[in-house]
Structure 1
């Protein structure tokens, strides 16, 4: 689907030639702009002006990246991990290649090829009724503002979502089902448009990239929230001291950031760009995003002087209009936090894990 900015440009051209056609175009423009390319209905307070300003220069970026990726992928059936591919992922994967690239750079494609028939076997095998009931309850709560997840949708994603979650819950009984997985899986289905691929990418994400995030005790998630606090202490000491002084635990305002991988928190295109790098570089990207949000907008939090105001300030920084510019945002996550060596992250994790356990 064409973006809103290009449709408005078309409408303006029509107005000069045919006012009646312009009236029809404006109606079409309203319909197109009300829904994004992934089927999400835009909220009534959506900032179209900021979006148009962003798209006016981002279209050229998209065109350049599409050309680069087309050259890279020509005559190839898979994507090998390399410095070049890592750099390309940081600069964004075109929508038409995103699903295939995610599968390869994450290792999910290899896992799927090594386990033929596993997904169908899980779907057709014996079922845990308690798991089924829990998943069924959450299916109707998934993306209520998305046309593909509504009742009666011709291209409905509810059944595929149910299938993937049921298959995964029986595949990994240590996780089963946890709230938040429905949203992550839902977006995988919107991007990959394939149940089996979405299943294996979800499995890779939870097993390799985010281990113990969605287990019953959520030890991995709790550990990483403690890690974030330590990283803020190192890189943004004034902010850390302020938040600690107001008595706000880092887990309170950031749980949704981590559990949904910024989905339902940041603009969708920004989330997709984050996931482009997440599937290649792993969980350190989650920390880079968090440190960037806090670093760029720390003044908002520093001005908040009570517990509830600090929590509210965290909400404000994720809704800031600058977050809509996904290209600049992604450039910042590799600049603002500075160096973040894996060895340092691993050492901090070990210390924090001992505290959580």
Structure 2
């Protein structure tokens, strides 16, 4: 037996059935609305969703055959519809189309199978250790060494072999897990490749490389944006010695899939895959703006807790996302990126100068 393969272990018992929400997560106990209201609302939402699905099917064509042509002809229509939310039944296919991962898969047929079956990874035991921590309340991933955990292991192991410079880092499990709820193992793997290697947008592998260089850049940028867009809150953060690494790292490393409500994370991912990482900054700023008046009153410990546990009303996509879309950050993000790079160059030059001075003459 190959050391560290998840296939070496017997599946654990299937968890006892509990009520699930529409995405497959165990439901939290909440007071229910009157049955008549629920039926009425669900009928209206179903009819609305059916109309949206018909529009989307016409837009993407059979198996996505019309997608590129439609995007070229009507990019503003596509952007508007994505911001309203991709129909859940089409989400997996559309994510592959807008990320460029479908093209990667077609250019690399058989590569994923090779990586999973014939290659070994130095990260295998680390991946196995972390698997049960990924979406533990979702029915697909709950069974110990069951189908969901096996698929998650395969995707993460394959990526750790495909990109040995990155290998495996814990937060990657939430990316892979989210994708596996909407597509096959092979599709999820190539979408991870598209994201980290930059098939459409800037590569994101720096989120997971040694030292997390891209995380450091994003934290520098969000720190400046908070101080510029929300100066009172920025000043309060300074007084309470709060820095972005204390609350925003997971925003970027998992693109809100770690601790945010799943229905909100999905809507953010729709936009993220089409428009890029700027939506993460916009959503973060919108959250802080929405909770601004409460946050500026809190001392350090309560402030940390609040920044990691936003109230339910702040997490409503129909309230939060329009706020996020109204925040313009593209130009400022580019300026701050250049500023960060210049700062790092000076830092490296300073360290090199110090090293030379310390060398024996």
Q: How would you bin the TM-score normalised by the shorter chain? A: 0.7 to 0.9
- Tell me by how many angstroms 1:101 deviates: 0.7
* Structure 1: distance between partners of 2:189 and 2:230: 38
Rate the CA distance shift 1:353–1:300 in 2: closer, same or farther, 3 A. farther
Deviations 1:209-247 (CA, angstroms, capped at 9, x unpaired)? 524001121010111011001111221111111111211
Measured against aligned partners, the alpha-carbon deviations of 1:301-345 in whole angstroms (never above 9, x if no partner) come to 1111x221221221342x33341x32333222112x2x222x431
Q: Is the contact between residue 132 and residue 144 of structure 2 (CA under 8 Å) also seen in structure 1?
A: no
> What are the equivalent positions in structure 2 for 1:1-357 lying under 5 Å apart?
34-44=19-29, 46=30, 61-75=48-62, 76-80=64-68, 81=71, 82-128=75-121, 130-151=122-143, 156-192=147-183, 194-208=184-198, 209=202, 210-304=204-298, 306-317=299-310, 319-323=311-315, 325-335=316-326, 337=327, 339-341=328-330, 343-355=331-343
Structure 1: unaligned runs, 5 residues or longer: 1-30
User: Would you say how many aligned residue pairs link Structure 1 and Structure 2?
Assistant: 316
Matched residue SS, 1:35:
coil
CA distance in 1, matches of 2:205, 2:229: 25
Change (3 A) 1:125 1:354: farther
* Aligned equivalents of 1:134, 1:346: Cα separation in 2: 36
C-alpha deviation, 1:288, in angstroms? 0.8
How far off is 1:257 after superposition? Answer: 2.0
Distance 1:280 1:241 in 2: 34
Instruction: List alignment gaps of at least 5 residues for structure 2.
Output: 1-16, 348-361
Structure 2 CA distance for aligned equivalents of residues 251 and 52 of structure 1: 41
Closer, same or farther: CA 310–353 of 1 in aligned 2, 3 Å: farther
C-alpha distance in structure 1 between counterparts of 2:31 and 2:321, whole Å: 20
Residue 282 of structure 1 and its aligned partner are, at CA, apart by 0.5
Residue equivalent to 2:354: none
- State the distance in 2 between where 1:153 and 1:133 align: 13
Separation in 2, partners of 1:353, 1:47: 51
The TM-score with structure 2 as length reference comes to: 0.80
- Cα RMSD of the aligned pairs, angstroms, is 2.6
SS of equivalent to 1:291: helix
Structure-1-length-normalised TM-score: 0.81
Specify the SS of the correspondent of 2:168.
coil
